[in-house]
Structure 1
Amino acid sequence: MKKIRANMDSYFDKVDDRWRALPLRKQYKYLLYCFLVYLILTIAVILKVWYDTGKSNHRVVIEHIENPVVKKKESAVLSQDSLLKNKKNRRHERK
């Protein structure tokens, strides 16, 4: 792990040295181009989200919240089948 970290540090030092070796005018141009690309991507994403939200006419459907206990009681009626009940009782009988 230390070797990987040392390699990364040396790589970043080389990149930093190359960046500092560039003339200030070129550094400024690179930064300006990066900022413009970032700005164009941001505007594109905002326009895409705006278009998608404006296109959909879905309304939010508001329904009552169902009680999970009531659902359990309905399934409990099904589990009172005589075959299942006998099978459960046999499994838990004393020997």
Structure 2
Amino acid sequence: MKKLRVNLDTWFNKLDMQWRVLPVEQQYNYLLYCFLGYLLLTIAVILKVWYDTGKSNHRVVIEHIENPVVKKKESTISIQDSLLKIIKNKNHERK
């Protein structure tokens, strides 16, 4: 775990030094592009949510809640399935 932390620290320090070496104008441009990308993503999400809420129907369906414990335990597997049949073999029984 210490080795991973040391590796990450050296990697972050190297990235920080590369950032500091860049001219201020280029740093400004990178920040501006990142901000514009974030702004476009935010606008796209807001428009998508606005579109989805405007499109949905406003009816609330109220139904009776059924207790899953009381529900009938019906098997969805066919009874005729030969793999699920329990076949007693006399060789494996006690004497």
Unaligned ranges ≥5, structure 2: 73-95
What is the match of residue 43 of structure 2? 43
Query: Which TM-score applies when normalising by structure 2?
Result: 0.65
Identity of matched residues, %: 70
The equivalent of 1:4 in structure 2 is 4
Query: What pairs with 1:14-53 in structure 2 (closer than 5 Å)?
Result: 14-53=14-53
TM normalised by structure 1 equals: 0.65
Deviation sequence 1:62-94 (CA, Å, 0-9, x none): 35667x5xx85x97xxxxxxxxxxxxxxxxxxx
- Cα distance in 2 for partners of 1:55, 1:65 equals 27
Q: CA deviation at 1:45?
A: 0.4
Matched residues, number:
71
For residues 18 and 32 of structure 2, the distance between their equivalents in structure 1, rounded to whole angstroms, comes to 18
**One-letter identity of the residue aligned with 1:54:** G
Query: Per-residue CA shift, 1:31-77, capped at 9, x if unaligned?
Result: 000000000000000000110111111411235667x5xx85x97xx
Q: Secondary structure in 1 aligned to 2:48?
A: helix
Higher helix share: 1
- Equivalent position SS for 1:61: coil
Q: Point out where structure 1 has 5 or more consecutive residues left out of the alignment.
A: 76-95
Q: CA RMSD in A?
A: 2.0
The list of structure 1 runs, each at least 4 consecutive aligned residues, that deviate by more than 3 angstroms after superposition, is 62-66
Q: CA deviation digits over 1:4-26, x for unaligned, max 9?
A: 11010000000000000001111
